[in-house]
Chain A
Amino acid sequence: MVARADFDYSDGAEGAAVRFTGRLTLARLGDLPQRLDAVGAVASIDLSGVERIDTVGAWIVTRTVNEYGAKVTGASPEAERLLEALKDDKSEYRVHRDRRSTIERMLEQVGTASLAVWGELIGIIDFFGAMIIALGIQIRARRRLRWHAVVTRFQTVGVDALPIIGLMSFLIGIVIAQQGAVQLEQFGLEVFTINLVGRASIRELGLLMTAIMVAGRSGSAFAAQIGTMKLTEEIDAMRTIGVSPMEAIVLPRVAASTITMPLLGFYASICAIIGGGVFCWAGLEIPPLTYVQRLREIIPMHDFWIMLIKAPVFGILIGVTGCYEGMQVRQNAEEVGKRTTSAVVAAIFLVIVLDAFFAVFFSSLGWN
């Protein structure tokens, strides 16, 4: 077996005289640094017993020399070369970012997070403005909207989402009807379950659930696609060719989500109503014909208008947030993931905030 790195030493007046032996290399270092620390001050280092040395071994010698001003003797030509290469002052070479106290960092985190939220909001508004300007330029220059791109998005945002949104809304219709019926039965008013299902689905739930689903499906996809294109410099390539990314990438996506949302929202409402109807028929023994008849009496036309007004707004919101977050990707792959997450979270949050605003607004208009 080849000798591990080792040393023996004798104490002197100005410090120990250390004699290294064996192989002073990373692989055979063992616990040598700790033992050497335990010796304390070192006055001289003898390398004549060293069989082999690498940069780590040379560094151990160098740092002892720097600390105690020890003299090195008996170095082989290889050892000389390594010591020579390492001898410059390394103290200015930094390894870590500056460290600060916990409180300082906590405050800084709260501060940066608040600024980030504010920046995000301003950014989205800014981006929306830039998009409107791009749209204006496109119309003024009489360039047609890239319908081909829009239609491709119809497929992925709208048609492909039909099964999942239909099933989800159908089940939600059943749940509302069932839960409503349990409560209303106590007063013998289970027939009002129809009011509950009909109005809640058309006015609020159908669209809201659709918006959440579209944000999760398509908002995230927009962010990830655009983010990846940013990383591979595709967006930059487009700019240099003279194609406006706003026009080629953002507008078709936002247009698609804006146009699809009302359609999907209406479809979801109908699915929820069908779900409720199935429950009413099976659980409350209200025949479908009566169910439909009653729906026509109790759902005012303005519920439908409310849905149609809200839907495109939610669509724009989801499209813009997704594209904005995608465009913010810089640096690395990790950011694509982060930006995709924040696209979904921001879109759902903003949709719900706006929905609350709409609810108050339409009520005060007298559309109850």
Chain B
Amino acid sequence: MSEEIQAEIREELAAAEAVRPETFEYAIRVRGLRNQFGDAVIHDGLDLDVRSGEILGVVGGSGTGKSVLMRSIVGLQTPTAGEIEVYGKTLDTITDAEESRDLRRRWGVMFQGGALFSTLSVAENIQVPLREYYPRLDQQLLDEIAAYKVSMVGLPPDAGPKFPAELSGGMVKRAGLARALALDPALLFLDEPTAGLDPIGAAKFDELIRELADTMGLTVFLITHDLDSLYATCDRVAVLAEKKVIAVGTIPELLATEHPWIQDYFNGPRGRAAAGCNIAAERQDRKS
């Protein structure tokens, strides 16, 4: 093998050292975050910790800035004030382009509408991050990786060559998830993954996320409106209200708090229905 390729490989391996997710107790630490658009203050003094290896659900009423929080963490939105650390690095202060790339390949982001590149097929969409970061992977391995990612997210075998416009809503979400998982990230951001899916599709998607998180040891930042999703997938839940995170904890812990919004949320008709189903399902499990 030529010297040049050897050097390239050394560089690539050195880059892999830069961020080592498994050594961190907290994947994300947000301190004193403030986001402001004109006069409208979205977040003010928001603190949040996401532990490595957990699935954290983020809930909150419409307009409480769930998506803005996610966009701030992944660097799409520069906060007005405050500090965001992902695996010990602050995106704001990273001046080195290489270093920020290293951080970016540790996470995968799935947008609400899928955000698939419309001119590329599903398989090509999955290969985009792989090609970007690992240009020396040969085409055959790329194709095999795309194929097994397609199967992992539960898309049908013929979905690979299809274009996003040819897919149904649920398939677009799955394809978006496959692209987010392309680099085997340690951290996965999901923005309302089950919104717009039918209940059966949504339940299957919840199951898929739980399963993938367990298999691949993922940390998941899950924004959702869907109470069933919360019960089915999340280890802990963070509640956004009054411009900050008012409570974080497991669902029973949250139920014990007095805050009226949290009480309304979990004890409203839909909240009780979701909780009821969950208890029934657990009983069923115990019996069998």
Measuring CB to CB, which residues of chain A are less than 8 angstroms from any residue of chain B?
A: 1-2, 4, 25-31, 33-34, 52, 54-56, 59, 63, 78, 81-82, 85-86, 88, 90, 92-97, 330-334
CA distance A85 to B136 in the complex (A): 26
Chain B: how many interface residues by the 8 Å CB criterion?
Answer: 44
5 chain-A/chain-B pairs, Cβ below 8 angstroms: A30-B13, A31-B136, A33-B138, A92-B157, A332-B165
CB <8 Å contact, B147 and A93: yes
Q: B114 within 8 Å of A by Cβ?
A: no
CB <8 Å contact, A85 and B150: no
B83 shortest CB reach to chain A, Å: 27
Measuring CB to CB, which residues of chain B are less than 8 angstroms from any residue of chain A?
A: 1, 5, 9, 12-13, 15-17, 20, 22, 105, 118-119, 121, 123, 134, 136-138, 141, 143-152, 157-158, 160-161, 163-165, 181, 183-184, 214-217
Q: Given known contacts A56-B145, A63-B144, A86-B148, is B157 in contact with A94 (CB within 8 Å)?
A: yes
CA distance A334 to B20 in the complex (A): 40
CA distance A92 to B136 in the complex (A): 26
A22 shortest CB reach to chain B, Å: 10
Query: Which B residues are in CB contact (< 8 Å) with A4?
Result: 9, 13
A7 shortest CB reach to chain B, Å: 15
Query: Which A residues are in CB contact (< 8 Å) with B143?
Result: 95-96
CB <8 Å contact, A90 and B17: no
B238 shortest CB reach to chain A, Å: 27
CB <8 Å contact, B119 and A332: yes
Query: Which B residues are in CB contact (< 8 Å) with A85?
Result: 152, 215
CB <8 Å contact, B214 and A55: no
CA distance A74 to B95 in the complex (A): 43
B154 shortest CB reach to chain A, Å: 12
CB <8 Å contact, A59 and B118: no
The 10 closest A-B pairs by CB, nearest first: A27-B16, A331-B165, A93-B147, A332-B118, A54-B184, A95-B123, A30-B9, A92-B157, A95-B143, A95-B160
Which one of B17, B144, B157 has the greatest number of beta carbons of chain A within 10 Å?
B144
Query: Which B residues are in CB contact (< 8 Å) with A331?
Result: 118, 163, 165
B222 shortest CB reach to chain A, Å: 20
B16 shortest CB reach to chain A, Å: 4
CB <8 Å contact, A59 and B148: yes
CB <8 Å contact, B5 and A31: yes
Minimum CB distance partner of B183 in chain A = A26
Query: Which B residues are in CB contact (< 8 Å) with A93?
Result: 147-148, 150-151, 157, 160
